[in-house]
A and B are shown apart, each in its own frame.
Chain A
Amino acid sequence: MANIAQPGQKQPASPDTTGHEWDGIAEYNNPLPRWWLYGLYATIVWAFGYWIAYPAWPLVSGYTGGVLGYSQRATVLDEVEAVRRERDARGQAQLASATVAEIRADPALLRLALATGKAAFGDNCAACHGTSATGRAGYPNLQDDDWLWGGTAEEIERTVRYGARSGHGEARVGDMPAFGRDGVLSRAEVEAVASYVLALSGKPGVAGANPGKGAEVFAGNCAGCHGERGAGNPEMGAPNLADPIWLYGSSPEQVVATVTNGRKGVMPAWEDRLDPATIKSLAVYVHGLGGGK
């Protein structure tokens, strides 16, 4: 604004400076508008108001809360609650009243169930089955197509709802006895039958075991549940012994240990912990991972 000329006003020969000088270079004084200064004062006053109205100063064990009682955490909780209510109103009621077959037939309901199931799986199932549902020794891999208790969406729903050996009246029940520990089979017979079942899926058995003896032992003790050809029986949770998928490991030592001591894996009943919509969503989600029948 140094060049503003008012009528009749002469330009000063030596313009006004701020009085600052560095190496012979001085700074022009181009005055700021006064309201700008008042603006600065206003922001300072505003800051005092802010301290009083909002949370501001840290104290030894807490902070000044401000007279408005504002809290970001409370705001977030309100928003989360609002989203939950909206979601309930939109689709959870439908999920609760539909069967899993109906859910899978309706694209919109299916998408809702998959999303709900994914979230619920992470909260409730991932601890044992893994975040990606790939399981680990003793906890079935839900991604593959090998199912102890049946792989249809309905069967999965039943397993989730009542569990396996969970103590619930409707729970899946099956028993792999401790053939070796209880003295039903001798050590040699256990090794023989272990070698026999490993051979069903082309795996090497226990060194020096008698496979002929193993077939005989299998027919006498195992075929009742696992079937004559070892194909398993989902009614009893008896696994398919002829495929390459082994819940407790496929080394001869692991199979010998299984036959000797038996296995009694437990899946909790979720009926009392999760609502029907979530249980159905979990069943649809697990089925939709790709292994469902």
Chain B
Amino acid sequence: MSLAEPTETKAPARLASSTPGVGRAKKFGTAATRAAIPAVSGSLYAARTKIHPQAVHGTFRRIKWALLALTLGTYYLVPFLRWDRGPGEPSQAVLIDLDRGRFYAFSIELWPQDVTYVMGLLILAALTLFLMNAVAGRVWCGYLCPQTVWTDLFLAVERLIEGDRRARLKLDAAPWSVEKVALRTMKHAIWLMIAWWTGGAWVLYFADAPTLVAQLATFQAPPVAYMAILTLTATTYLLAGHMREQVCTYMCPWPRIQAALTDEHALNILYRGERGEPRVSAKKTAALRAAGQPAGDCVDCFACVTACPAGIDIRAGLQMDCIQCGLCVDACDTVMGRLGRPGGLIGYDTEANCRSRAAGGPPVSRILRPRTVLYGLLVAGVGGGMLYGLATRSFAGLSVLHDRNPLFVTLSDGATRNGYTVRLINKWHAERRFALSVEGLAEARVEVVGGTPGALPVPPDATQEFRVLVFAPAGARPDPSVPLTFRIHDPATGETALAQDTFKAP
């Protein structure tokens, strides 16, 4: 599953070239060919090998702690932020009100028909993901993905209760005892509490948070809230506590997509094989080097492997299972520091740079490439477009629907009447009265069933439907189809909105 195989590493060689007798000349499968293919030696299924990552300290660990605090803090606390929108309106800063069909985010209020902004956000998210990948690999996977963040938190709990890698391995192998039961119970209890709170925070985005917390505590909340919490508790506990790296390896499509989007100039966590190989124990290095024999900086201590939450060996090169969290960098730098050697044996690097260095060439760094420029421009364009749309969007609107049948009605005095269903939209948090008029038909007269065209009331933050009748007098004799513009005007704010339809006549 390796994406690329730097020549110095011990990645498995390609089967077709390493197995003699398997080539195009014998593609029809002679007995000799079949004999050359190693028969399946292992089962097609294997028990998962549990990974016990070793604790590490260093720059990337600190970055990951900070991002963990930031992302989880945001997720758990944002529902409790307040935002005053006036009486009768929700006072929660971020709220998805499914009953009323509204999405609130601070000063922004979106209606269902504004779903294009959500689409824009998704496009923006995808483009940002592509841009991050083109610049610095799987930044999302390593630092920001909820699966990574929650797994990191659950690992920290595990380490706090059961100790570091060695202690956990010992505890796993030990027979059941009172101490083991106590430790395991405590770990799972804390995991379940975190998982429960994760689900609990989720539902707070869909209702007034303080009210819902009180309802949840007194068992007054709607059943769907409990169902959602239970479901998310179960998924969090399973995915972060038990599934962990398997989610990334088996379930997530992004590693596959990312492999198709990366290139040789993208920064990735790489092992600098030309400096590390051949691996020699620290004690022998000096003697070997003095004798003029090759001796790399890698002491084959496996600190990078034991630190890895995905359980891989980064020295085998860029691979799909690697989430590029940087913990192997911290582990290796710690060891190198202890040995008095410079750090950076594992670090962010590009394949192009590695190749150039191996050939004795100058450093290669190309952040500005067609793809990064394109992604950057697209992100700026979509983001700018959405901001412009948000800044200039209208707070009043109307939609007009001509009666499907009859298209027109001839009245007893010879006049012609058309009927329309008009829906007025008021996005203010106060009632507004709109003046409705039509343009495009001389002498047209407008009537509204149950209202006066000059002042049509629309309740705050709502739409109102009216049946509108447009009359052409007997002598007017309009064309069979006349374009008609419906205009609403709010005298209080001066805001107007237009909609097009037609007037039909015999």
Contacts and interface: CB of A to CB of B under 8 A. Distances in A.
Contacts of A14: 15, 18-19, 38
Contacts of B26: 24
| B interface: dominant SS | loop
B40 A36 contact: no
B37 interface: yes
Contact of A110 (B37, B44, B450): B450
B313 A35 contact: no
Nearest to B26: A24
A4 B321 CA distance: 9
A33 B1 contact: no
B39 to A, nearest CB: 5
A29 B37 CA distance: 13
Contact of B1 (A3, A21, A111): A3
A146 B412 CA distance: 6
A88 B43 CA distance: 66
B98 to A, nearest CB: 18
Interface in B356-392: none
Contact of B10 (A11, A28, A134): A11
B1 to A, nearest CB: 5
Given A107-B450, A289-B419, A19 B412 contact: no
A244 B410 contact: yes
B18 A134 contact: no
B16 A25 contact: yes
B302 interface: yes
B46 interface: yes
Interface in B30-89: 33-34, 37-49
A240 B412 CA distance: 9
B413 A243 contact: yes
Interface in A8-64: 11-19, 21, 23-26, 28-37
Interface string B308-324: 00011101110101000
Contacts of A143: 406, 409, 417, 419
B20 to A, nearest CB: 10
A201 to B, nearest CB: 9
A107 B44 contact: no
B412 A245 contact: yes
Contacts of B404: 132
A69 interface: no
Contacts of B250: 32-33, 36
Q: What is the interface residue range for chain A against chain B?
A: 35 or more
A143 B403 CA distance: 12
B422 to A, nearest CB: 13
B38 A3 contact: no
B406 A29 contact: no
A290 B15 contact: no
Interface residues of B, number: 64
Interface in B451-506: 451, 457, 465, 467, 469
Nearest to B465: A111
Nearest to A11: B10
B282 interface: no
Contacts, number: 159
Contacts of A207: none
Contacts of A29: 40, 42, 44
B449 interface: yes
Contacts of B11: 3, 11
Given A3-B11, A245-B412, A24 B43 contact: no
B411 A7 contact: no
A156 B272 CA distance: 91
B417 to A, nearest CB: 6
Given A5-B316, A21-B29, A290-B417, A31 B37 contact: no
Interface string B384-424: 00000000000000000001111001111110010100000
A118 to B, nearest CB: 10
A34 B42 contact: no
B24 interface: yes
B16 to A, nearest CB: 6
B249 interface: yes
B12 interface: yes
B23 interface: yes
A206 interface: no
Contacts of A216: none
Contacts of B305: 5-7
B183 interface: no
Contact of B12 (A6, A7, A11, A25): A11
B406 A134 contact: yes
Contact of B27 (A4, A18, A23, A243): A23
Given A14-B18, A19-B37, A37-B45, 7 more contacts: A1-B249, A24-B33, A33-B246, A34-B48, A110-B450, A143-B406, A145-B412
27 contacts: A3-B1, A3-B2, A3-B313, A3-B317, A5-B10, A5-B313, A5-B316, A13-B18, A14-B15, A14-B38, A29-B42, A30-B1, A31-B43, A31-B46, A32-B44, A32-B46, A34-B47, A110-B449, A110-B450, A134-B406, A146-B412, A243-B412, A245-B410, A288-B450, A288-B467, A290-B409, A290-B419
In the A-B complex, the 6 residue pairs with the closest CB atoms: A31-B46, A243-B412, A5-B313, A132-B405, A19-B40, A3-B316
Interface of B: 1-2, 10-12, 15-16, 18-19, 22-24, 26-27, 29, 33-34, 37-49, 246, 249-250, 302, 305-306, 311-313, 315-317, 319, 321, 403-406, 409-414, 417, 419, 447, 449-451, 457, 465, 467, 469
Interface of A: 1-7, 11-19, 21, 23-26, 28-37, 104, 107, 110-111, 114, 131-132, 134, 141, 143-146, 240, 243-245, 288-291
